Structure 1
Amino acid sequence: MNPRAARIGRRPRWWSELLLIAVVYAAYSGGRLLVRGDTQTAVDHGLAILRIEKLLYLNAEHPLNRLFTATPALGIPADFAYASLHYLVTPAVLVWLFHRRPARYRAARTWLMTSTLLGLVGFTLLPTCPPRLLDASHGFVDTMAQFSSYGWWGAEASAPRGMGAMTNQYAAMPSLHVGWALWCGVMLWRYGRTPASKALGAAYPLLTVIVVMGTANHYFLDAVAGAAVMGFGLLLTAPATRLVDRIRDRLRPVVGGGRSPLVSGGCETSAGERFPGQRSSPSSADDTPAPAR
């Protein structure tokens, strides 16, 4: 069997996958903190996005934000969804793929990780102030601050109270809330076998787009950029997988020509010499049969 085909069809070790995902997520979270830019630059970028949206009649954030602000029955669940589903649904889909679709898992995981790292590049190149942090004169209300008494978050993004310094609030472009939700939706639609799973796959990304705009955490163009990042990540999945395989093959000890490795580590004995404790072979030409007893 082709070694690459064997790797694709084999389920990875769960502990190595857990370690890999933890390392990538730690790098992503740490990278978000390290790329904090100038606040005024982030505000300027946010206002520029808002102007472009108004010019193109894409400004859906204002009506949604007003609706969520005036209707706690919508705003509070939306805040809970923004603060939690991002970190619950994505790992759940990864675990589901690992157990139910092992042949598809590796490519799906590589797609997600590659896209996430591309998102980090976006945060670096274009720090962006979310709508909720713009001056109140621009007409946005931070629903998570307004309804913070109902959840674990405070007035600083979706981080737990007192931990706002642990997140970069100016990493709005692209929206990986939308990007990860799109990835989950594609996985559920493509590999789910029931109508309910396919319906969830279609609804989850759309619901996420509405939530991130209604809570004033992202602009519509942030959501578009999140989808674009996932598209680029998908294109890079196959090359990234081949690169990892190539590196892994080079690091693996080479056994030439398909021969079995020498147990002696390359040391050889001279004719008639035996390793200590080695039994004589009756078929050997140099050995004489033992006398019968």
Structure 2
Amino acid sequence: MASTTNMTVPWEEPDWSSAPAWKLPGWAEPVMVASILIGSMVLTRRRGYRIFARRDYNILADDFDSARSSDDLLARDFMMGRDDDSIDSMSTMKNPPKKRRCCGTAVYTPNTSRFADYYHSRILQRFPFLIEMFYWIITYAFYRSTALLSNAIFSKTKIWDIAQDHALSILEFEQYSWLSFLWPVREREVQQWFMHGHQTFLTVLNRSYALIHIPGTVGFIAWYYYAAPSFNTFARVRRTMTLTNLFAFIIFIFYPCMPPRFLPQEYGFLDSVGHNNAQSVWMSGKYVNSLAAMPSMHFGYSFCIGCTLVYHSGIFRRTLEPGEQRKSKPWAIFYILLGIAYPCWILVTIVATANHYFLDACVATLVATAAFFCNKVFFVLIPLEDLLLWCLRLEKPIPTTGYALRR
């Protein structure tokens, strides 16, 4: 590869003439996310179900299954593979155990249906979206730990220098490798175009980068929990996005990478988000991994969301799911255009604000694609989920996704 000196440019302080973005108070973004979650919890509540009226299951009878897992593919078939004596003995049990398949082995876990009348279980039955909030809190906790783990691994070396070397290697690969034709325009050129004559637009992108990632993704998850034609479809999207996260977290830990905005000045990048005073509260703090440019989760999320919106339009599906109706052409076109425009907007945003490289977005696309084909790996965690619910004395809620369509 070429020397990194070939990538430096004469640098001078840019003439920043646009007005700074309006700085949100520190509490605004958490309140925004909390409002989305609480609103979604209310919107997706089980109607007609009363928390303080025991055994008041005012839901579709064919939906109720005390051993229901997070996916209908994992049905309770505890009778299979048992001899006659075992079947007879289990058939007399009030709460027979659940049979799960884990790594090709049958695993029997406690049946939590006996806790269905506990008040905290009934709260979950009334507001089933709470369980989705719990899943994403766990995922966010894993992200917060990536900076600590990465620093621990590279404690004997200078992680900042390693991250800078990785960043420069990415620039060299994009500009001088045999795949350089994939990136005819360089990241620096994109930012400079906005810096000269289009700074107001760059201010909009700065605010987009800060606000869209967390509130936008949370809003999408909340909306699709309600709008998906079935819970299986929603769960497949949720598992894909979660596995995309985990794949990316592993890369963050073992391959720290400096975003362009942190490179030395001679490489020509400017931290426009910081310069424009548009930072997000989610981008600060000692647990935030600022050396996690590769891959770009901003683009990884937007790619998953875009593909889901295209699928939701129904245009490329010959048959629809049970209970789903064909959308009108204006709505179908709207979902198609939004599914294409959203990832494109995020790609322009992450590059123009010098937060990611083009290669970050490419790798994020590959990671999200791999996560889609491997998302059922989470089924191995179902027995652990059963045990956790048993310890908490909770019965897992029945999802309301698709209920409006069936009704």
Shorter chain as denominator, the TM-score bin is: 0.7 to 0.9
Give the CA deviation at 1:33: 4.2
- Aligned counterpart for 1:18 among listed residues 133, 137, 143: 133
Pair 1:250–1:33, CA change in 2 (3 A):
closer
Q: Is the 8 A contact 1:159 1:167 kept in 2?
A: no
Percent of residue pairs bearing the same amino acid type? 25
- Is 1:73 equivalent to 2:203 in the alignment? no
The letter of the residue matching 1:106 is A
SS at the partner of 2:286?
Answer: helix
Please show how residues 179-194 of structure 1 align to structure 2 within 5 Å: 179-192=300-313, 193=327, 194=331
- What do the CA deviations read for 1:79-98 (whole angstroms, capped 9, x no partner)? 11111111122111111121
Trace 1:214-233 onto structure 2 (pairs within 5 A): 214-233=352-371
CA contact (8 A) 1:33 1:167 kept: no
- Alpha-carbon distance change, 229 to 84 in structure 1, aligned in 2, over 3 angstroms: same
1:117 equivalenced with 2:255 (yes/no): no
Structure 2: which 5+ residue stretches go unaligned? 1-61, 76-124, 314-326, 391-407
Query: Does the C-alpha gap of structure 1 residues 218 and 25 become closer, same or farther in structure 2, counting only changes over 3 Å?
Result: same
In structure 2, what is the Cα distance between the partners aligned to 1:48 and 1:77? 30
Number of residue pairs matched by the alignment:
244
The answer to whether the 8 A contact 1:181-1:205 is kept is: yes
Helix, strand or coil at the partner of 1:140: coil
Cα distance in 2 for partners of 1:73, 1:33 equals 37
Structure 1 residue 43 displacement after superposition:
0.3
Summarize the alignment of residues 57-68 of structure 1 with structure 2, pairs less than 5 Å apart. 57=181, 58=183, 59-68=185-194
Post-superposition offset of 1:15: 1.5
Q: CA, structure 1 residues 8+91, in 2 after alignment: closer, same or farther (shift >3 Å)?
A: farther
Partner of 1:41: 162
CA contact (8 A) 1:140 1:216 kept: yes
Which residues of 2 match residues 17-166 of structure 1 at below 5 A?
17-36=132-151, 37=154, 38-55=159-176, 56-57=180-181, 58=183, 59-70=185-196, 71-101=198-228, 102-103=230-231, 104-148=233-277, 151=278, 153=279, 158-159=280-281, 163-166=284-287
Counterpart in the other structure of 2:318: none
Q: 2:347 aligns with which of 209, 212, 235?
A: 209
TM-score for the superposition, normalised by structure 2: 0.55
SS of match in other structure, 2:72: helix
Q: 1:44-65 CA distances to partner (integer Å, 9 max, x unpaired)?
A: 0000100111111425201111
What letter corresponds to residue 147 of structure 2 in structure 1?
R
Deviation at 1:7, TM superposition (A): 3.8
Q: 1:138-167: per-residue Cα shift (whole Å, max 9, x none)?
A: 11111112212xx3x2xxxx4479x45342
**Alpha-carbon shift at residue 220 of structure 1 (Å):** 0.5
Report if the CA contact (8 A) 1:179-1:223 is conserved.
yes
Q: Report if the CA contact (8 A) 1:69-1:141 is conserved.
A: no
Identify the match of residue 238 of structure 1 among 365, 376, 380.
376
Q: 1:134 to 1:247 in 2, by over 3 A?
A: same
Q: Which runs of 5+ in 1 are unaligned?
A: 254-293
* 2:146–2:289 Cα contact (<8 Å) kept: no
> Partner letter of residue 343 of structure 2?
P
Seen in structure 2, the aligned counterparts of structure 1 residues 105 and 32 have a Cα distance that, compared at 3 Å, is farther
User: Partners of 2:376 and 2:68 in 1: how far apart?
Assistant: 12
Q: Which moved more, 1:115-124 or 1:228-237?
A: 228-237
Alpha carbons 1:68, 1:215 under 8 Å: kept: no
Q: Contact 2:206–2:273 at 8 Å: present in 1 too?
A: yes
Deviation, 1:124, is 1.2
In 2 relative to 1, CA 160–225 (structure 1 residues): closer, same or farther, beyond 3 Å?
Answer: closer
In terms of fraction of residues, the more helix-rich structure is: 1
Contact between 1:89 and 1:184, CA under 8 Å: does it hold in 2?
no
Question: What is the alpha-carbon distance in structure 2 between the residues aligned to residue 23 and residue 5 of structure 1?
Answer: 18
For the residue of structure 2 that corresponds to 1:8, the secondary structure is: coil
Query: Residue 8 in 1 paired to residue 137 in 2?
Result: no
Q: Secondary structure of 1:183's partner?
A: helix
Structure 1 173/20 Cα, relative in aligned 2: closer, same or farther at 3 Å?
same
On the 8 A contact 2:300/2:364 being kept in 1, the answer is yes
Q: Secondary structure at the match of 1:165?
A: coil
Classify 1:249/1:15 alpha carbon distance in 2 versus 1 (closer, same or farther; 3 Å): closer
Q: Which moved more, 1:6-15 or 1:120-129?
A: 6-15
